[in-house]
């Protein structure tokens, strides 16, 4: 592998996700392995604009493979959406002589990186870092597996109360407009119902299904609701509507929220992050850019960022069927 590449930057952007640190570590160490200088850019694109850029080496990223969050900090940067902001960012990168970036983040961050490359010629390779799993071209984004495990663990605990008190629990999970977390955590935790934006169940079908559960002897139920689901205005309204129809059940709402974004990454996410980080540097060495690194099957691949941003990742219909069958 030969190349004139001798400096790269790495940043984490958008919502943090478990595994981002492991990916930063892999990028920094892989760069050092190939005798490339690596610069950490702090607070995502915001740090590119405000010149928060620091040289890193293999030891700067010690003891972080197991840590949640991101040592580089993260932000959602409005200024980078403007031409003026991106010009400031380019001028700062020029000061350091950096012309290649690894951007670790979700769809907004990858879109930002792509526009930056098109406008200023800075080579960008993306690593999908988001718990939402809403990028096409990869079966798993960084942090998704950990978030699923966190959600399942939380739902298991809530189930203890649901059973003890004969309650109907509505548990809202994250995922923005995508139902991957809800569907998989719902199956994993044995939920009675899973409501996702990709499949509009309709309130009447839900009522019918809950009636059926009651008649079949269920005394409590867990309904996992993806935050992007559109059935009700919000999960609280939804819950009180259901309570009116099931007066002998008490309903409760639990919003899992940001606990799903934090915590030590799972082994799967650590390994995925390490492989993606090394591969991202390989891409830059091979002069490949405007691509996102992904995993298909067990193979690390690249996909043009444009394709990764097209329509997210489809919900597996077979999984929806499994969920419907096993929750009767
Ligand atoms: O994209 C990750 C995510 O956690 C989504 O699931 C959620 O909708 C959003 O970020 C929350 O963002 P914030 O932390 O800015 O409130």
Does some domain include residue 107?
Answer: yes
DSSP letter for 86, please.
H
If asked whether residues 200 and 300 sit together in one domain, one would say no
Tell me, using a 6 A CB cutoff, whether residue 143 lines ligand 1.
Answer: no
The span from the CA of 121 to the CA of 53, in Å, is: 19
What is the per-residue pLDDT for 228?
Answer: 84
**317 within domain boundaries:** no
Provide DSSP, 135-156.
-TT-S--BTHHHHHHHHHHHHH
pLDDT digits (tens, 9 = 90+) for 296-322: 999 999 999 999 999 788 899 999 999
Question: 157 and 136, same structural domain?
Answer: no
Distance, in Å, from the CA atom of 263 to the CA atom of 15, rounded to the nearest integer, reads: 14
Helix (H, G, I), strand (E, B) or coil at 90: helix
Instruction: Give the distance (Å) from ligand 1 centre to CA of residue 176.
Output: 7
Residue 55 C-beta-side C-alpha neighbours within 13 Å: 8
CATH of the domain at 235: 3.40.50.460
Answer yes or no: is the C-beta of 133 below 6 A from any ligand 1 atom.
no
The Å distance, Cα 321 to ligand 1 centre, comes to 28
For 248-289, the pLDDT digits (tens) are: 788 999 999 999 999 999 999 999 999 999 999 999 999 999
Helical (H) or strand (E) element with 87 = helix 83-96
For the chain, the helix, strand and coil percentages under 3-state DSSP, each to the nearest 5:
45, 20, 35
Supply the range of the domain harboring residue 158. Answer: 146-261
26 phi, psi to nearest 5 deg: -65, -40
Asked whether residue 207 is assigned to any structural domain, the reply reads yes
Task: Check whether residue 49 and residue 61 sit in a common domain.
Answer: yes
Check whether residue 196 and residue 277 sit in a common domain: no
- Per the structure, how many domains does the chain have? 2
**Mean pLDDT along residues 235-250:** 84
- Residue whose Cα lies nearest atom 11 of ligand 1: it is 15
Alpha carbon 35 to its chain centroid, in Å, reads 31
Under the phi-then-psi rule, with left for phi > 0, alpha for psi from -120 to 50, and beta for the rest, what region is 190? left
Q: 72 CB under 6 A from ligand 1? A: no
Q: What is the pLDDT of residue 1?
A: 47
**What is the C-alpha to C-alpha distance for residues 276 and 283, in angstroms, rounded to an integer?**
10
* Segment holding 41, helix H or strand E: strand 37-41
List the one residue out of 208, 202, 209, 207 whose CA is nearest residue 243. Answer: 207
Whole-number pLDDT of residue 31: 98
Tens-place pLDDT, residues 91-135:
999 999 999 999 999 999 999 999 999 999 999 999 999 999 999
Distance 152 CA to ligand 1 centre (A): 18
Is residue 229 a part of any domain in this protein? yes
Residue 208 has pLDDT above 90, yes or no: no
For residue 232, the model assigns a pLDDT of 61
Residue 195 C-alpha to ligand 1 middle, in angstroms? 18
Q: What is the average per-residue pLDDT within 196-224?
A: 86
Residues labelled catalytic: 132
3-state secondary structure 282-296: HHHHCCCCCEEEEEE
Task: Check if 130 has its Cβ closer than 6 Å to any atom of ligand 1.
Answer: yes
Which residue among 261, 294, 320 closes a domain? 261
CA dist 120 and 223 (Å) reads: 48
Residues 86 and 201 in one domain: no
Q: Residue 230: what pLDDT? A: 66
Residues 195 and 61 in one domain: no
How far apart are the C-alpha atoms of 43 and 146, rounded to whole Å?
22
Residues 134 and 157 in one domain: no
**Nearest residue (CA) to ligand 1, atom 7:** 176
Domain contains 315? no
Q: What is the pLDDT of residues 52-78, one digit of tens each?
A: 999 999 999 999 999 999 999 999 999
Mean pLDDT in the chain? 94
Q: Is the CB of 151 under 6 A from ligand 1?
A: no
Ligand 1 atom nearest to CA at 181: 6
């Amino acid at each position: 592998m030969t190349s004139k590449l001798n400096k790269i930057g790495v940043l984490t952007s958008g919502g943090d996700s478990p595994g981002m640190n492991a990916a930063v570590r892999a990028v920094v160490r892989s760069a050092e392995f190939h005798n490339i200088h690596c610069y950490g850019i702090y607070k995502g694109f915001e740090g590119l604009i405000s010149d928060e850029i620091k040289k890193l080496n293999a030891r700067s990223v010690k003891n972080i493979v197991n840590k949640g969050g991101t040592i580089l900090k993260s932000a959602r940067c409005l200024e980078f959406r403007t031409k003026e902001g991106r010009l400031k960012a380019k001028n700062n990168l020029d000061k350091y002589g950096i012309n290649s970036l690894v951007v670790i983040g979700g769809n907004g961050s990858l879109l930002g990186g792509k526009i930056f490359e098109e406008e200023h010629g800075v080579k960008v390779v993306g690593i999908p870092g988001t718990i939402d799993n809403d990028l096409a071209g990869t079966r798993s984004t960084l942090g998704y597996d950990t978030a699923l495990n966190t959600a399942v663990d939380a739902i298991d605990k809530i189930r203890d109360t649901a059973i003890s008190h004969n309650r109907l629990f509505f548990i809202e999970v994250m995922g923005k407009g995508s139902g991957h977390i809800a569907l998989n955590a719902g199956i994993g935790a044995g939920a009675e119902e899973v409501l996702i934006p990709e499949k509009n169940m309709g309130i009447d079908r839900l009522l019918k299904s809950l009636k059926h559960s009651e008649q079949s002897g269920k005394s409590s139920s867990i309904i996992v609701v993806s935050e992007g689901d559109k059935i009700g205005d919000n999960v609280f309204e939804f819950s009180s509507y259901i309570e009116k129809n099931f007066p002998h059940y008490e309903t409760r709402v639990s919003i899992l929220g940001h606990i799903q974004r934090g915590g030590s990454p799972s082994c799967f996410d650590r390994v995925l992050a390490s492989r993606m980080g090394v591969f991202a540097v390989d891409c830059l060495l091979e002069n490949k850019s405007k691509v996102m690194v992904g995993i298909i099957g067990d193979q690390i691949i690249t996909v043009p960022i444009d394709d990764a941003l097209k329509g997210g990742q489809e919900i597996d219909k077979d999984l929806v069927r499994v969920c419907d069958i096993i929750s009767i």
